[in-house]
Structure 1
């Protein structure tokens, strides 16, 4: 979202024609795929946990709106560029003995309000290989579609074979075409952790649309600008003691801090189940309205029209 060296969302908005804007959105979507290291497990977000951060004029807010299943809602707004993002995602893992394949379900919308365009995006799957060669990869199909311009992209993320001997590691291939006629406009090729090119099928011209080194290198650590403005639900607050234990390599301290967080969540759950009203008290998200759609998926609508500036900022 905000961890990029170059402001790629600004580029999406400022391109002059629909085709150039669409290719910029494709490049930005690719930039959200980051290399992951095997063996580094993220924290499991607690119910109601939030992350509120600003980078320049882009304000981003996430909230964990469900714990079982784990559902994360995201809302981001940029008043200067008149850009808005709405995401509602939940992972569905499948175990295959030698690997874990996680499908990232849900809706991802990028809205360029100056142009009246909404880009609908899916996500490739996250593959965690356990044996014979441990590793983490993004694999499978990803689609990007803009109904207003009639443009669509299909991207295919590839990984290594079972024994790691075949296949192009972190490769990406795809195409951009017109939805109505299926007319092919561009071919996409490259590696999402290096460079990705786009070839015009009519002219044969090849251009680099994404360079990972230029886009995600030299990132700066977010800093707390306003300590009083931090919510108790902020990730940096929730996991502060666990983080301190990890950074100081005091694993016993980190373990105890994590255990305390989990026990507190169990106590809150027990209190809701035995509320004074005699019935189960339903937890309600603070920043989103959550519902289940006809397909059985999750919809998350932000309560506020715009995300306010955050107490945590990313230095430019």
Structure 2
């Protein structure tokens, strides 16, 4: 199965080579074990990171900033966005669907939402996806598909379906990183919906912000508020993610506090407390009973790396194919090779853009996503609706 739009823009010879035997490199998923804190042996990395922002004004939008391969992890942003959905030890979406009453299902959704937060490494970032790039992976009966539907601004659409559990995910999100002198703060805008079709329930959720602190103590934290709401049941949750203090003291590092309440009356039902990289509990305010709803070690420790089950089924637009040569250079520590491979990808995209802008019709040729219908809503945000009702099984799978 080949993405025809990508074929038409990449050139027949290049696509033919990929179709015969795609060169694919899949890196291990981000997990608790994958974290590497900055220590006294890493001053050069800190200086290199700071050098990137030398000529950038505070308050600047960093959306279009391109990093050299020395600062990249061997995977695309599409993979990093979707890994929390398909790289898990326990099927928490199954738990959300199989809980018997609305309150239990809501608390399970809260736990699942927390599980999508993963540790990140200071000084390293994934590749910015190219326009039309896709990522298609299956874990058991859950099939996940992403597409980069816009490049400026960078907008990613995700659609996932599980026929067995009758669960569906719809995400349309776009990060907006800004530089503030001593830090980079990224707000993840857009809509994230989880649908439990067996119960007729849709859960709307947001995302905390990603904070990269440069000085005095470098580090990466998830901070700020996250809201989860189900209109059908009238339940709502507010979560507050805490990071390290300015001087690097542990304090509320990776803490999470919050509450579950009724939207209409604001009546408090549960208090939420814990750390998203350890355990999170809810306390029933009426009975005083405390229950562990999330254990990070049980959910995101020891994750398995996806594998290619069907090489011929890979699309040329697949992230693992697009960035494969760059990945090989990074993993083999041949940064010269990685730099040249990345440069070739970026130049190809510039050629495609120039060709589109000077099309034979005499006007700008609008690029159309292959798997989503994209529109701008009245608030100025992006909406992404999947063209197909269900996501098909993928050539890349996660071993169970």
Q: Same fold (TM over 0.5)?
A: yes
State yes or no: 1:129 paired with 2:229: no
In the alignment, is residue 34 of structure 1 matched against residue 95 of structure 2? no
Q: Which has the higher helix share?
A: 2
1:295 & 1:136 partners in 2: Cα distance? 30
Following the alignment from structure 1 to structure 2, what is the Cα–Cα distance between the partners of residues 253 and 93?
28
Deviations 1:39-83 (A, max 9, x none): 112111000100000000000000000111110000000000000
Q: Offset of 1:165 from its aligned partner?
A: 2.5
Residue 166 of structure 1 and its aligned partner are, at CA, apart by 6.0
In 1, distance between residues paired with 2:167 and 2:173?
Answer: 20
The 2-side partners of 1:239 and 1:46 are apart by: 10
Offset, 1:164: 1.4
Q: Matches of 1:267 and 1:284 in 2, distance apart?
A: 17
**Aligned-partner Cα distance in 1 for 2:316–2:337:** 21
Q: Distance in 2 between matches of 1:239 and 1:162?
A: 36
User: Matches of 1:306 and 1:113 in 2, distance apart?
Assistant: 13
- The question of 1:219 aligning with 2:303 is answered yes
2: distance between equivalents of 1:238 and 1:284? 19
Deviations 1:84-138 (A, max 9, x none): 0000000112221000111100000000000000000001111010111111110
Question: Which is further off, 159-168 or 117-126?
Answer: 159-168
TM-score (norm 1): 0.99
| Helix, strand or coil at the partner of 1:132 | coil
Alignment of 1:62 with 2:146, yes or no, is yes
For residue 7 of structure 1, what is the aligned residue in structure 2? 91
User: What TM-score results when the alignment is normalised by the length of structure 2?
Assistant: 0.78
Aligned residue number for residue 366 of structure 2: 282
Instruction: Tell me the CA shift for residue 167 of structure 1.
Output: 2.8
CA-to-aligned-CA distance 1:18-54 (integer Å, 9 cap, x gap): 0000000000000000011101121110001000000
SS in structure 2 of the partner of residue 48 of structure 1:
coil
1:130-149 to 2 correspondences below 5 Å: 130-149=214-233
**Other structure's SS at 1:10 match:** helix
Point out which structure has higher relative CO (alpha carbons under 8 A, 6+ apart): 2
What is the Cα deviation at residue 280 of structure 1?
0.7
Distance 1:40 1:226 in 2: 30
Task: Please say if 1:119 is aligned against 2:199.
Answer: no
Please list every run of 5 or more consecutive structure 1 residues that lacks an aligned counterpart in the other structure. Answer: none
Question: Which residue in 2 is equivalent to 1:176?
Answer: 260
Separation (CA, whole Å) in 1 of partners of 2:330 and 2:357 = 34
Structure 2 gap segments, 5+ residues each: 1-84
Q: How far apart are the structure 1 equivalents of 2:357 and 2:376?
A: 22
State the secondary structure of the residue aligned to 1:42: strand
Instruction: Give the whole-Å Cα distance in 1 for the aligned partners of 2:91 and 2:333.
Output: 35
The match for 1:251 is 335
Give CA-to-partner distance per residue, 1:154-185, whole Å, 9 cap, x none. Answer: 00001111111363110000000001111100
Which residue does the alignment assign to 2:238? 154
Q: Deviation of residue 153 (structure 1)? A: 0.1
Distance 1:212 1:7 in 2: 13
- SS of the residue corresponding to residue 86 of structure 2 reads coil
Structure 1 stretches of 4+ moved >4 Å: none
Shift of 1:224: 0.4
Q: In 1, distance between residues paired with 2:302 and 2:218?
A: 28
Distance 1:303 1:167 in 2: 46
Instruction: Sort the Cα spacing of 1:271 and 1:180 in 2 relative to 1 into closer, same or farther, 3 A.
Output: same
Map Cα deviations across residues 175-205 of structure 1 (whole Å, 9 max, x no partner): 0000111110000000001100110001111
Note if 1:241 corresponds to 2:350: no
More strand as a share of residues? 1
Measured in 2, the distance between the counterparts of 1:105 and 1:248 equals: 35
Measured in 2, the distance between the counterparts of 1:210 and 1:175 equals 15
